[in-house]
Every structure is written in structure tokens, then in C-alpha cells.
A and B are shown apart, each in its own frame.
Chain A
Amino acid sequence: MIEAILLLLLILLAIMAVETQILRMAVVFLGIFSLLLSFLYLFYGAPDVAIAEAVMASGLVTLLYLTALKRYRVYNICFTNEMFREVDDRYIIEGTRRGQLLREIEQFCISKELEPQIVCTPEDIDTLMETRKYDLIIRQEGEHLTIYGSQENYFIDELEMLLILRYEDLNTRIVRYAEDGTFVEET
């Protein structure tokens, strides 16, 4: 009876760990999975393996996954304006409709469990594209806004939806680039 319950719970937790949208929940489910598995080993009469499983899989691997998850939380956004000498930088970020857009992107990142980190530079786009330090580059040329993002970035599709729905009055367009740095043409 106990064996059947434990086995069913194991299957349930494994499915939950795969199907969860939030990665941190998946890690927690995997930790519980390992703990139940170690109970099962104990039930089958293998206390040595049970101790090893409880310590390694339930303790160390969970810590390791959480450490790895921390790396993917920071989302680097770069705001570049090549004519920053003519227009005051602070004026662009605050108060205007473009500043509103930036703040909205920031909020959007937070709702996706990412930590947005916005950098404002006067560097031109080619240098920025070469270093590949940023996940999202927003470039302003006069009245035009261009957003550069990687093709494999799942975030950029949802951002495009947001732009179409709410920021149609701004002159924006989205450019995706492939892994080797070439731009992908819009269909």
C-alpha cells in the first residue's frame, strides 16, 4: 500500500516537474521527488543508497540548480542613443512616452522572473552587436526606435505583441538577428 502510494506520487511529481512553467518550482518538485525516492529505497531495504540519494539528489543537486538559475535571472537591456549630445539623456528616459516604454519593458521582465538591468550608452550599434553583452538593444535615431534581439529569444515575440497593442504611435520596429550576427528579414 505504502509502496503503491509512493510510486504514484513519484510519477505525479515527475510530470509536475516537467510541466511547470516556473523553473524554480520545477527544481523544488525535483527535490521532493528525490526525497520520496530515498524513502522508497529505504522501503526496499537499501539504507546506504537511501542516505546517498537524500544527501546528493535532494540537497546538493537542488543547491546546484538554484545557483545555476541565478545566472539566467539577469536580463541585460542596452539603451543607445547616438545623438545623445544634442538631446539630454535624462529627458529621454523620464517623462516621455519612450521612457514609459522602457519602464513597461522593465515591469515585463520582473513579471517573467528576470532581473532587468538597463544600461545607457552613446556607443554605436556595430560595437554593441560585436560584444554580444546585451540580450536586448534599444536604439534611438531621432524619432525612430529600433529594438534588436536574438532570434532565439522567446521574450521578443511577446514584446512585439506589446508594441503592436499599446505603442503604435511610436516609430518602432523590431529587428531579429541570427546566431552569426546577420539580421533576419521580416516576413
Chain B
Amino acid sequence: MTRESSIVSTITGLLYPFIIVFGVYIILNGHDTPGGGFQGGAILAVLFIGRYIVSHTDDFSIHQAHNVEKALLAVLILVPTLFVFGAIGRRYPQFNEAYLVFMNVLIGFKVALGLTIVVFRYAFYEDR
């Protein structure tokens, strides 16, 4: 893909805010409505990948994203372990909803970063 189509880039530029709002909505309302971290994260990943497909930017640092993802995995294991096995949820029921939202946000970012890394790494080396 050597040429950039101005029609495609303009239309995707218009679509980006809607994709972001939709993905964040799906993540933040995952505990009440259908959806959740995985689905919202996948929508956010489609945003990054679509941006790469349209305008071939390679300013995304795979190394840093991988480090962030590893840190997120550590938090993702620690928080539920403390919350569920430490029985915080049973003792203080007012934290339940906050826990659900926090976990959905964590999973959402992790899935978005992970899918983006996979596709970027794949695309970078297949293009050459």
C-alpha cells in the first residue's frame, strides 16, 4: 500500500471519536449492560490497527507497550486475588461496583494493547 487514499483517511478520521466513545462506553458499562473489558478492548484495538492500515504510521513502540502490558497483568492478578480471596467483597459490599469497573478497565487496556502488539508485529514483518 504505497498510496494513501484521501477519502479513506478522511472518513476514518471522522470515525475515530465514535470508535473511542463506543469502546470506552462498552468497557465502563460492562458490569450493567452487555459487553465488558474484552469486547471494549477489542474495539479500541481495531482503532489502532485501522489507523495503521490507513496511514502506515510506525510511531507505536511495541517494546514499551509490551512492558505496560506486563505491568497490567501483575495488577490484574493481584487485585482479584486480594479482593476475592481476601474477602473484601463480602466485608465491604460498597466496594463491589468499583471493583467491577476497575477490573473491566484493566482488562480492556490489556486486551487492546495485546491485540495491537500482535497485529503490528505481524504487519511490520510481513510488509517487507
Contacts and interface: CB of A to CB of B under 8 A. Distances in A.
Interface string B14-42: 00000000000010000000111011001
A71 B125 CA distance: 10
B53 A63 contact: yes
B58 interface: no
Contact of B34 (A47, A55, A59, A68): A47
Contacts of B35: 47-48, 51
Interface range on chain B: under 10, 10 to 19, 20 to 34, or 35 or more?
A: 20 to 34
Contacts of A59: 42, 46
Contacts of A64: 119, 122
B43 interface: yes
B68 interface: no
Interface string B114-128: 010001001100110
B49 interface: yes
B34 A48 contact: yes
21 contacts: A48-B35, A48-B39, A52-B38, A55-B39, A55-B42, A56-B42, A59-B42, A59-B46, A60-B45, A60-B46, A60-B49, A60-B115, A60-B119, A63-B49, A63-B50, A63-B53, A64-B119, A67-B53, A67-B119, A70-B1, A70-B127
Interface of B: 1, 26, 34-36, 38-39, 42-43, 45-46, 49-50, 53, 115, 119, 122-123, 126-127
